[in-house]
Amino acid sequence: MTGIILDGKTLAKQLESELAKRVQQVIQQTNGKKPILATILVGDDPASATYVRMKGNACKRVGMESLRVVLPKDTTTEDLLSEIDKLNANPEVQGILLQHPVPSQIDERQCFDRISLEKDVDGVTVLGFGKMAMGESAYGSATPAGIMRLLDHYEIPIEGKHAVVIGRSPILGKPIAMMLLNANATVTICHSRTQGLSEIVHSADIVVGAVGKPEFIKGEWIKSGAVVVDAGYHPNKVGDIELSAVIDKCFAYTPVPGGVGPMTIAMLIAQTVEAAEKNA
């Protein structure tokens, strides 16, 4: 039995079609003003530049505008904070995205937390994380929010299930664990230094690979009938999980590419549209 494909690419297209209609409504309510997502790119990392361009293209597809702020790689923390302050104060800007990672001389956490909660559509601030974890209103980190939307769309049961998250980053591992917990899963958070990792993974009904290492999670660790969510993407188009070894035994899985990735951008746009609707 081949597992159900959790097709993020197709779902993202459906969401964009719905979002385009909502954007038009916002434009009508604001006398022709298009919602704006501001993206900040520091340095010349080609992968980061590609991601920013993809997000700008997504804005165009739904009828929004994107404001690109490109800063040199020798930018200081103070310089970046100043740019964020300008965007916070700009009433035309509905959402702010600081592309990760930033150059090493910058205090990334301080800059993330300078983004106002109302414009934190990528869900990167400590305050936003805390509110989300407590079940209060906040924009969730885009990738975890995309995973939850994908599981919901395919009606994957979460309540009462044992979810194992491998990875503990502040914008992926930790927030997806809190979101699953809020959805009444029993959650175990693991990482690359967890002892007995294979046994823990084998006990999971839902496995989320978010460790950032290519095929670190082996297919033999995953039990038959599990739901497999691979949030990694590496050269040679592989993720964090050895997917080729689980496709024929799992209940459902996210392909790499075409699973979690498209949902990340879709949720970023969706949360920007939501912010625009609130302001309208």
Residues annotated as part of the active site: 55, 99, 122
Count the alpha carbons within 13 Å of 91 in the hemisphere toward its beta carbon. Answer: 4
Q: How far is CA 195 from the centre of its chain?
A: 27
Short-list 68, 65, 55, 67, CA closest to 35: 65
Percentages helix, strand, coil for the chain (3-state, rounded to 5) are: 45, 15, 40
Amino acid at 272: T
Type and span of the H or E element at 62: helix 46-62
Short-list 192, 217, 195, 193, CA closest to 206: 217
Size (the chain), residues: 280
According to DSSP, the residues that pair with 206 across neighbouring strands are: 163, 227
